A and B are shown apart, each in its own frame.
Chain A
Amino acid sequence: MTQMSEGSERSDIQQAKSHLQQTLEKGKFAVTAEIWPAKGANAQRVRNKAAILKGWVDAVNPTDNPTAIIRMSGLVTSLILLEEGVEPVLQLQARDRNRLALQSDVLGASAMGIRNILCLTGDHQSFGKDPQAKGVFDIDSTQMLQAFKRMRDEGLFISGERVKPRPELFLGGAANPFGDPFEARVPRLAKKINAGAQFVQTQPVFDLERFYKWMAQVRSRGFHEKVHIIAGISPLKKARVARIMQEKVPGMLVPPEVVERMESASDPEEEGVKLAVELIQQVKAIEGVSGVHIMAAAWEKIVPVVVREAGLR
């Protein structure tokens, strides 16, 4: 066997900072978007989505078995995005993987040039098509952030074993200004910052009042200077979606005016785009908001339209 070199302390891919991190650090308004990986063994569908989004956004989050429904692996989807020249934000959730799997995925991701990682707890398995599955939840999203930060900064796994070379990572978490109890929402952001979050992507904003209130608390503690806050924006395609989001999706607030506006629209798709554009302009004007994360579910083709009409590109 040939002598293997121990390698340097740094990963084999040299560029340390992701484009998303650089954008945010330069104070430029960032745009990210979500894609839902294919529900089948087809890479071409991911490539098609990449082609739609390329040039319009700074980075793309492939969701990780969202709503507990099986889709192509987020890690593999991220690699396909990289091949297509689109920077991924790898989403990892705690429902499907224990600490061994999560840390090993992070090594692989970093080695292949994936820097942005979004740490999530994940929707409960009871939401999806496999409610009989055993949920893992070995570590939660906060512990995940802390673990990945330690891998990067101290070169140690959770176990205390050494990581060599260390992964290069830009770490993010989710924040939900719309969940309850409201008084726990800013402390929870504080906790994620303490754990290692460098950016957060929020749940979709529809209830601006609530979002203003949350941001005011965030600013009063100076957290907008410690973490890049990327506001979620979800373009609505149908009035029905607005109603379902309000009534059925836990932790979402869609005010009745929004539901009514969508219901009375003659062209709901056009209204959905208009609403998304307005919301983008409103959140962009808030001090401390560093970007938007467009969550269009499987309606990815609308993302460039929204980005263009909002004047972001």
Chain B
Amino acid sequence: MIITEQKDFSDILKMLERQKRVFIVGCAQCATLCKTGGEPEVLHMKQRLEDAGLEVTGWVVLDPACHVLGDKRAFRKQREEIEIADSILVLACGNGVQAVGEALNRAAIPGIDTLFLGDIVRANEFQQRCTMCGECILDKTGGVCPVARCGKHLLNGPCGGSQDGKCETNPDEPCIWEIIVERLKADGNLEALEEVTPPKDWSKATDSGPKRLVIDR
């Protein structure tokens, strides 16, 4: 899922400077699980904005926010509340903010920061696992991802800074290559460490440029 975190309220107020009326949009999926854009957060945001002297014309929690057509349909029921609003504040990931903007054909404002694609490892704790490189290699790395979880995206790790199972870039994180080595060892396949993994095709990766996918079924 997409992991998000609420922006500082003062930053949100700055974005809403010189605005009087705000319509709030939340998301029933990832942002709800991250407690950034579910109904309780939307209502809490409404309260805080009102306390700060703004008028909240209405709110909705979309399911999900990142669905342009679905958003259009949902917004029909609240056309007026949306039209009188000076700003649309979206408590959903960056996709959601843009889908809402596209559905309404006007700029929407992000109330939360989109951090990473992650797993829920326990209640209230999320960890990054995949950076959407476009060509999954988990079959070769013992099922754990060095692209996302090695500080240097090494395909031929571990680097020289790996020590005591910790990553040199962040002692709070494990060296993912140590885990890969453990798994290879458990499979009796340590020789795999001697094969050179060739350069990766980063043109497939998520941040290499605009992407779209059309499926024909």
A residues whose Cβ falls under 8 Å from a Cβ of B = 94-95, 99, 121-124, 126, 135, 137-143, 146-147, 158, 174-176, 178-181, 183-184, 187-188, 190-191, 194-195, 203, 250-252
Contacts and interface: CB of A to CB of B under 8 A. Distances in A.
14 contacts: A124-B152, A137-B152, A140-B152, A141-B156, A142-B156, A143-B155, A143-B196, A143-B199, A175-B160, A180-B178, A181-B165, A191-B194, A191-B195, A251-B168
A288 B165 CA distance: 29
Given A135-B152, A140-B152, A181-B181, A187 B191 contact: yes
B162 A250 contact: yes
Contacts of A252: 163
A139 B159 CA distance: 13
A200 to B, nearest CB: 11
B168 A191 contact: no
Contacts of A181: 158, 162, 165, 178, 181-182
A124 B153 contact: no
A19 to B, nearest CB: 27
Contact of A251 (B162, B195, B196, B197): B162
Contacts of B161: 123-124, 179, 250-251
Nearest to B155: A140
Contacts of A142: 156, 196-197
Given A95-B152, A124-B151, A187-B190, A179 B199 contact: no
Interface in B105-142: none
A121 B168 contact: no
A126 B169 contact: yes
A250 B168 contact: yes
Given A139-B199, A195-B196, A179 B155 contact: no
A212 to B, nearest CB: 19
A180 B162 contact: yes
A309 B208 CA distance: 54
Given A140-B156, A184-B178, 19 more contacts: A122-B152, A123-B161, A137-B154, A140-B152, A178-B163, A179-B159, A180-B164, A180-B165, A180-B178, A181-B178, A184-B193, A187-B190, A187-B191, A187-B193, A188-B156, A194-B196, A195-B156, A250-B161, A251-B163
Given A143-B196, A158-B199, A184-B193, A121 B175 contact: no
Interface residues of B, number: 35
B196 A183 contact: no
Given A126-B169, A146-B198, A187-B191, A180 B152 contact: no
**Which of A141, A174, A184 has the largest number of chain B CB atoms within 10 A?**
A184
Contacts of A140: 152, 154-157
A267 to B, nearest CB: 31
A251 B177 CA distance: 14
Contacts of B170: 126
A191 B177 CA distance: 15
A303 B155 CA distance: 36
A69 to B, nearest CB: 16
B20 interface: no
B199 to A, nearest CB: 5
A183 B156 contact: no
**Which of B178, B190, B198 has the largest number of chain A CB atoms within 10 A?**
B198
A253 B154 CA distance: 23
Contacts of B195: 191, 194
A191 B158 CA distance: 12
A252 B166 CA distance: 13
A71 B12 CA distance: 39
Pairs A-B, 4 closest by C-beta atoms: A176-B160, A250-B168, A250-B161, A142-B156
A137 B191 CA distance: 24
A138 B158 contact: no
A89 B169 CA distance: 26
Contacts of A184: 158, 177-178, 181, 190, 193
B9 interface: no
Given A187-B194, A188-B193, A191-B195, A138 B160 contact: no
Contacts of A179: 158-163
Contacts of B154: 121, 137, 140
A139 B196 CA distance: 12
A175 B190 CA distance: 18
A143 B177 contact: no
Interface string B69-87: 0000000000000000000
B194 A194 contact: yes
Contact of B193 (A141, A178, A191): A191
